[in-house]
Amino acid sequence: MSQFEDYNSWRLVTNGGVRYRFLGSTGSFNQEGGEIEWKAIIRSQDLYEVLVELFPPPIMVGGVSYPNAGTMPGYPAMVAKKVSYDNHVEGLPTDPYGYDTTAPMGTYSEFIVITISFGPHVAKASNPADPRSFLEVSCQASGEFLFVPSTNTQIQNEESTTGTEDEEPGEGAIDGNTGLPTGDRTNPPGEEGEKRPVRNPVLPASMMVPALKWSVKWKQIPADHFRSVVIHRLRLMLGRVNSAPCGFLYDAPPETLLFLGFNHTESYSWRLGNLESPPIDVDLQILEKRVIHRGVICGHNHVFEPGNGWVRQWIGANWDESMYRSIDMNFLFQV
């Protein structure tokens, strides 16, 4: 016989209607992160219902999915990360999935102890008009080195009024506007000596073009929506640049974002009903190139011309086609 005969008298109830007895919690925190171990007793037969409540399917709005999560009672900033369970009565096994249907009464414990690990809520409030509310965005500094031909370039000597070949100019206070020492050197680099054309065709020269490599993760896309809509939009975006400011990447200007491709993962789940159509996770790879030249923002359709700087390059028989075709990347998330 169980020591909890009067289940209906249990005072605490989950949002889904499952009654439980709270066994307390333990936890630890640091500057921003934290973890809480939360324990309770539930009926063995209610385990799956609790799992679905703690890890609900994504919210669907017009075919666009938004991550969803079960929050900790009394502390909604923490959401469920992991659930484990064990038998309540020592030595008495549990069968929460009803596998042994012909077992004599009392063979398995009617109740189990669940331990839920809660962590910080990483998702934002879902907003159909703001893809950032359901995307995970990260960035890594990148760049490329251009080997610049010496054609049409110039050089000049750097001259200093103090110091020898092995010495730095005299030390002094730092000018707040230029960041240069206010010692004997009065002119910033590049303003001393006479410029002259390069005569050596093999003079080494390289220039780094800074770039940002963006990783945009979109998780738990319903398989049917991915198959019928998303995959076709992704294929259309391959190798193209943005034609309009990109809202989900801080309004990056047109032609500064190049869609490199995406990683695709089918997230097979314990959830009943997802065995044949698992949700899809995609990781978009986007390269940002943004160079300001003569007051103009130059992107992937610009190249560096020695002696002139960054210029737009056209290709095609009629010279009216850009190197990279453009597309509005925001349409990927449109309902």
- The pLDDT confidence band at residue 180, using thresholds 50, 70 and 90, is low
Domain range enclosing 285: 131-146+207-333
What residues are paired with 212 via a beta bridge? 141, 288
Contact between 70 and 123 under an 8 Å Cβ cutoff? The reply is: no
Nearby residues of 177 by Cβ (< 8 Å), 6 or more positions away = none
Classify residue 297 as left (phi > 0), alpha (psi -120 to 50) or beta. beta
pLDDT digits (tens, 9 = 90+) for 208-245: 899 999 999 988 888 888 899 999 999 999 999 999 99
- The pLDDT confidence band at residue 290, using thresholds 50, 70 and 90, is very high
Residue 99 and residue 136 in one domain: no
The whole-number average pLDDT for the span 281-290 is 96
pLDDT of 1 reads 42
Backbone angles phi, psi at 210, to 5 degrees: -60, 150
- 291 has a pLDDT exceeding 90: yes
- For the chain, the domain total comes to 2
Q: Which two tokens stand for residue 9?
A: 């008298």
Would residue 200 count as lying in a domain? no
Range from 5-14, 33-42, 153-162, 244-253 carrying the lowest mean pLDDT: 153-162
Would residue 201 count as lying in a domain? no
Would residue 162 count as lying in a domain? no
Would residue 196 count as lying in a domain? no
The whole-number average pLDDT for the span 296-312 is 90
| CA-based nearest residue to 122, from 34, 51, 12 | 34
pLDDT digits (tens, 9 = 90+) for 21-37: 999 999 999 988 899 99
Would residue 92 count as lying in a domain? yes
What is the distance of C-alpha 101 from the center of its chain?
46
Q: What whole-number distance in Å separates Cα of residue 38 and Cα of residue 21?
A: 11
pLDDT of 4 reads 60
Q: What whole-number distance in Å separates Cα of residue 18 and Cα of residue 8?
A: 10
Residue 213 and residue 255 in one domain: yes
